[in-house]
Amino acid sequence: MANHKPDRISEYEFSIGLRLTHWIRAVAIALLVLSGYYLSYVFAQPEVSSTPTLFLQAKIRMWHQIIGFVLIACFAYKFYLFFFDKLSRKEWISIVDFLNPFVWIKQIKYYLFMGKHPHLKGVYNPLQFASYFFFYVVLALICLTGLVLYVHVYHEGLGGLIYEPMRAVEAYMGGLANVRTVHRVCMWIIMFFVVVHVYMAVFNAVKGRNGAMDAIVSGYKYVKEEH
Ligand code: HEM
């Protein structure tokens, strides 16, 4: 019988907190896109009746806001992990690869089927790091504009507490109409990102055969043993 000696070892890449927030965020984004689309373009309404208790728009807005706060919580937790979690240090090291032009060139060659994958010091390749960074900027913007819209719906509790600063953000953006536009444009950027993100994840997992997609589920990927 042939002796199959495994040439790969498993490497723990993503902590449980990181993986959980990734998937909660993914579900939250899907639900926010669906409910947000409805809020912007009311494509269904309950049958008109004399009892004014249907309030479908208000109910969907309520769920949009609840899930919006789940997304904000995930964002805050990820922010905390990035700066204070020991295991997330590996994400920091990706900055070294990001600043190295040779890694950029090698990575682009890899995507064009013109060369091998560069050896990375961190967990993300430079293109991946740049796109994730941009994604977090857009995510921060959609959360911020979401909070500005929120203070116009609820004026008590948290809504009251952040009312003044959010009104200042609104004025800075040139009014509520602009805030809405930015909120909506961010949605389209996020939708585009998600499609490219899933495509790239599958591409890397299939081409690299290193369980790149497993890592965000089990935490482990399978790297070639270096001698
Ligand atoms: C992926 C994240 C999100 C997406 C895709 C999204 C999408 C949308 C869209 C398309 C609208 C309709 C805008 C319009 O045409 O006027 C909207 C409205 C709104 N969003 Fe979001 N949103 C997101 C996150 C958030 C967050 C984090 C909050 C904060 C709690 C939030 C709160 C609101 C509120 C209060 C409205 C206004 C509802 C109304 O005018 O009745 N959103 N959202």
169: domain CATH number? 1.20.950.20
Confidence of residue 36 (pLDDT cuts 50, 70, 90): very high
Residue 223 falls inside a structural domain = no
Is the C-beta atom of 28 inside 6 A of ligand 1? Answer: no
Residue 127 maps to a domain: yes
User: Residue 149: CB partners within 8 Å, gap ≥ 6?
Assistant: 176, 179, 180, 183
Is residue 174 within 8 Å of 123, Cβ to Cβ?
no
pLDDT by residue (tens digit) across 160-188? 999 999 999 999 999 999 999 999 999 99
Mutate to test the pocket of ligand 1, among 64, 161, 163 (most ligand atoms within 8 A of CB): 64
Query: Quick check: is 106 in a domain?
Result: yes
Q: Is residue 32 one of the residues assigned to a domain?
A: yes
**pLDDT tens digit sequence for 78-91:** 999 998 988 888 88
Task: Please say if the pLDDT value at position 227 is more than 70.
Answer: no
Q: Domain range for residue 186? A: 10-44+53-217
Domain-embedded: residue 2: no
**Residue 35 predicted with pLDDT over 60:** yes
181 within a domain of the structure (yes/no): yes
Number of domains in the chain: 1
- pLDDT tens string 73-124: 999 999 999 989 888 888 889 999 999 999 999 999 998 999 988 988 888 8
Within 10 A of 160 (CB to CB), how many other CB atoms are there?
A: 11
Domain assignment of residue 227, yes or no:
no
Q: Which of 183, 191, 192 to mutate to test the pocket of ligand 1 (most atoms within 8 A of CB)?
A: 183
pTM, two decimals, is 0.90
Q: Which atom of ligand 1 is nearest to the CA of 147?
A: 29
Q: 119 CA to middle of ligand 1, Å?
A: 41
- Residue 1 covered by a domain: no
Taking only the tens place, the pLDDT of each residue in 189-212 is: 999 999 999 999 998 888 888 787
Q: Does 36 contact ligand 1 (Cβ within 6 A)?
A: yes
Closest residue (by CA) to atom 42 of ligand 1? 146
